[in-house]
Amino acid sequence: MLGHCVFTRKGNVKGQFFKEHLYNERGEIVARLQKNESFEIITEMKQQIMIDAWEVLLRAKNHTCSWVITTEKWSPMSLEDFLAQ
């Protein structure tokens, strides 16, 4: 995620994140943020997150995303499948 734009591992823009929801380019909800106060990111996880993030940033050629008109409709695609495309 860069700003509100959400990218795949290949660096392609896939949607936007705002109002605690992830929306695809059609405005369908793909995921909703759920905070887990008891979850803690350990050092090893932080390091891998940074490595993965840099890989995505290096692949991203278009750092802007088109405006998404949100809907209340949930996407039939899972978050994992959405990001794997």
Question: What's the average model confidence in pLDDT over 72-78?
Answer: 94
**pLDDT 10s digits, 6-55:** 877 777 788 898 889 999 999 999 999 887 777 777 777 888 878 877 77
Task: Give the integer Cα–Cα distance in Å for 27 and 81.
Answer: 17
Show the DSSP H helices in 1-85 as ranges: 43-59, 79-84
Phi and psi at residue 82, to the nearest 5°: -60, -45
3 confidence band (pLDDT: 50, 70, 90): low
